[in-house]
Amino acid sequence: MTFRIAITPGEPAGIGPDLVLKIAQYDWPAQLVVVGSKELLLERAEQLGIDIELTEYDSNQAAMPQKKGTLTILPVPLKAPVVCGELNAKNGQYVVETMRVACQKNMDGEFAAIVTGPVNKGIINKSGISFSGHTEFFATESNTADVVMMLATEGLRVALMTTHIPLAYVSKAITYDRVIKVTEILHSELQSKFGLDKPTIYVCGLNPHAGEDGHLGTEELTTITPALNTLRDRGMNIIGPLPADTLFQDKYLQNADAVLSMYHDQGLTVLKYKGFGKAVNITLGLPFIRTSVDHGTALDLAGTGLAEVGSFQVALNEAITLAERSKNDR
Ligand SMILES: NC(=O)c1ccc[n+]([C@@H]2O[C@H](COP(=O)([O-])OP(=O)(O)OC[C@H]3O[C@@H](n4cnc5c(N)ncnc54)[C@H](O)[C@@H]3O)[C@@H](O)[C@H]2O)c1
Ligand SMILES: N[C@H](C(=O)O)[C@H](O)COP(=O)(O)O
């Protein structure tokens, strides 16, 4: 028996709908249920010259592998017409509703995973909904206190100690408890989701040269190292904090199952330099599987046919692999 994967196309004026249609040009071993506007997909398909057959989702029917040229759709209506490349705050509520429905159906066990297309955080906030990212949204929606953002491409996994917050708040956010919590979630999910019995985690410092013994910043001495020592005492294999500018070299990375960076651009700049378009974003610590693309809404490419589908394929393949693994573990 196969399972169902929920797909949210994300921002309707961006490339998400284009990529969902491109994904549908292949056979998939799982049923792909797109949670979003049927009219939007049909309109974008016509614009791109893609043939697509949409079948409405019926929870009473058994899940079937998705055949190329087809998609299953769980309709969520748009709030306003869509023009490619033009954000419209009226559709902020639509975008959030697609995520909410997909989340609920995963919580209920009806779907085995969620794969999300890119959203524009700014326009959702402009629509009156406070929103900083899918990662935080799904945590709140599923009542999960702590989750971890991790992006992965071939040969590198990068997890983040802090996610979508202004740089000015990062230092305050890195508390002893946060270092313990995030590292514990990363460690336990490397074991359970990725089958690594005793994962090795390399940890970046926050300050230049990891603080240079307190001369260039003290967070390493006061917070990060004490927390990592506690985790080492609990048996975890943790290296660091090491200077972030020299950590990302092969002699460290070949031994690292993941690198834990202190803030968004410290880790993701390296990850995306290495693997942009071929990476997956995975939320660790949720009660369901959630993966996503490594890129944003690319408003400049929506409706042109030029958007690359590589990262969406990686995200969908990863969701299917994780869902199969989780099914076999049960
Ligand atoms: N998963 C997500 O929801 C997600 C991820 C990252 C950024 N974003 C959001 O996307 C919006 C735009 O962000 P940005 O401009 O920094 O990043 P972006 O990824 O949208 O665009 C950066 C550059 O990469 C190109 N690009 C992106 N995806 C591409 C693809 N699939 N194929 C070919 N070229 C591609 C774009 O044309 C642009 O030149 C922001 O609102 C941001 O918050 C969302
Ligand atoms: N931080 C992610 C990135 O740069 O790729 C992106 O903004 C998406 O984050 P969410 O999955 O939390 O929306």
- In this prediction the ipTM stands at 0.98
Task: Write out pLDDT tens, residues 118-166.
Answer: 999 999 999 999 999 999 999 999 999 999 999 999 999 999 999 999 9
311 C-alpha to center of ligand 1: Å?
Answer: 11
Average pLDDT for 203-212: 98
Structure-token pair, residue 53:
């057959």
* Tens-place pLDDT, residues 277-326: 999 999 999 999 999 999 999 999 999 999 999 999 999 999 999 999 98
Specify the DSSP element, H or E, that contains 22: helix 16-23
The pLDDT score that the predictor gives to residue 329 is 76
175 has pLDDT over 70: yes
66 lines ligand 2 (CB under 6 A): no
d(C-alpha 246, C-alpha 270), whole Å: 11
How many Å lie between the centroid of ligand 1 and the Cα of residue 119?
9
Buried b (16+ CB within 10 A) or exposed e, 239-259: bbbbbbeebbeeebbeebbbb
Band of the pLDDT at 328, cuts 50, 70, 90?
Answer: confident
C-alpha span between 290 and 160 (Å, rounded) = 16
Is 134 touching ligand 2 by the criterion CB < 6 Å? yes
Residue 329 vs residue 205, higher pLDDT: 205
Q: How many angstroms from the chain centroid is the CA of residue 321?
A: 15
Place of tokens 């040009």: 25
Q: Which residues line ligand 1 (CB under 6 A)?
A: 10, 15, 118-122, 134, 292-293, 295-298, 300-301, 307-308
Instruction: Provide the pLDDT for residue 330.
Output: 67
Beta strand 289-292 with 113-116: parallel, antiparallel or unpaired?
parallel
